[in-house]
Copies of this chain bind each other. A is one copy, B any other.
C-alpha cells in the first residue's frame, strides 16, 4: 500500500544560516533582525525578513530552548484520559497554555504507577518547564516527590503532601449548593442516592448536603443510599427510596447518570417531575442533562475552570511564585426543568 513519496526525498529544513546567506549577512545579524532587536539597519532587517519568508524559515525552537533554559513546554500527565473528568480539565489547561504560547506534551498513565514513572522521565528529559498531574478521583494521591527539577500542580486528585500545590473541585460545597437550591424552591423532604462509598466525592457531597439541611433544621429523608455511579443504581435506589418514603419531594443524585436512572423510575411510577419530586444531579454532563425528560438540573463542577486555574498556578510557579496547599474551584447549579418547571 505504501509507495515512494510524490515529492522525492524531503528537503532539509531551512536554517538560520540559509536565511543569512540569502540576505547576504552574518548569522548573528540575521538572528537579531528576525528577533526584533534594536541595533539593526531597517534595510538589513527587511532583507533578512524577505529571505526568511522566501524559504519559509521557522526558527528551531529546540536550539532556542537550550540557550534560554526554558522550553515553553509543559507536561500533562493524566491517569484517566477516557474518563469524564480528565478531558475538560485538559481542555481548560490547553486553552490557558495555548494563549501563553506554551505547548502541551500529553501522556496517559492509565492508573499505572510504572507507566507514570516512565512518562515522568520522558517528560523531564524533554525538559518541560512544569507539570500538571491529573487524577481520576478526588481522593488524595501520593506525591511525585519534592525533589523534582520543575514545579508540579496536581489537578482534581490532590497530592497527599501539603507542600505540593493542588487544585480541586469543592464537593462539600457542591452538595450544599444542591440542597440549598432545593430548599429555596420550598422542598423539605430531601432524599440522597449516590455512588460508591469508596469515593471521597460521594462522601463529601453527602456531607455538604446534610450540612445544608442541618442549617435549616432539617435532616435527610432516609439514609444516604450509596451504590454505584450508574443509571441502573439510580433506578433501583429510587424505587427503594420511594417505597420507604413515599412523601419525599426532592432527590439529590450523586451523578447525572444516577439522576437519569431516577428520572426513568419516577416516570415509570407516574411521579411528576418537578411537581411531585424535584431531581438534581452532579457533573452537568451535557449528553445526559439536555436529553433527559425533563432536562436535568445539575451541579456543574467547573472542570474547565479547574484546568485553567491549574495552568495559571503552574505558570506562576514557573515564574518563581509557587503556591502550596489545596485550592478549591467554585461550582454552580445549572437550573433546568427537573427542579423548576419549564426552566
The residues of A with any CB-CB pair to B shorter than 8 Å are 1-7, 10-11, 13, 56, 58-63, 65-66, 71, 73, 76, 81-82, 87-88, 90-91, 94-95, 98, 101, 103-108, 119, 121-127, 146-147, 149-150, 163, 230-232, 257, 260-261, 264, 287-288, 290-291, 293, 316, 321-325, 327
Contacts and interface: CB of A to CB of B under 8 A. Distances in A.
Contact of A104 (B105, B124, B327): B105
Given A94-B81, A103-B126, A5 B62 contact: no
A232 to B, nearest CB: 6
Among A58, A76, A101, residue most surrounded by chain B Cβ atoms (within 10 Å): A58
B1 A323 contact: yes
Nearest to A71: B62
A1 B232 CA distance: 43
B71 A82 contact: no
Contacts of A119: 98
Contacts of A5: 322
Contacts of A63: 66
Nearest to A319: B2
A103 B122 contact: yes
A146 B7 contact: yes
Contacts of A56: 147
Contacts of A98: 107-108, 119
A3 B231 CA distance: 45
Q: How many copies does the complex hold?
A: 2
Given A61-B126, A73-B105, 6 more contacts: A3-B323, A58-B121, A90-B106, A98-B107, A103-B126, A105-B106
Nearest to A59: B125
Given A105-B104, A106-B94, A291-B230, A3 B127 contact: no
Please list the 5 inter-chain residue pairs (A to B) with the smallest Cβ-Cβ separation, ordered nearest first: A231-B291, A106-B106, A2-B321, A62-B62, A2-B323
7 contacts: A11-B149, A60-B125, A62-B62, A81-B87, A81-B94, A82-B91, A287-B288
A264 B293 contact: yes
Contacts of A150: 10
A91 B108 contact: yes
A13 B149 contact: yes
Contacts of A65: 62
A260 to B, nearest CB: 7
A232 B291 contact: yes
B103 A291 contact: no
Contact of A125 (B61, B66, B95, B231): B61
A325 B127 CA distance: 37
B291 A58 contact: no
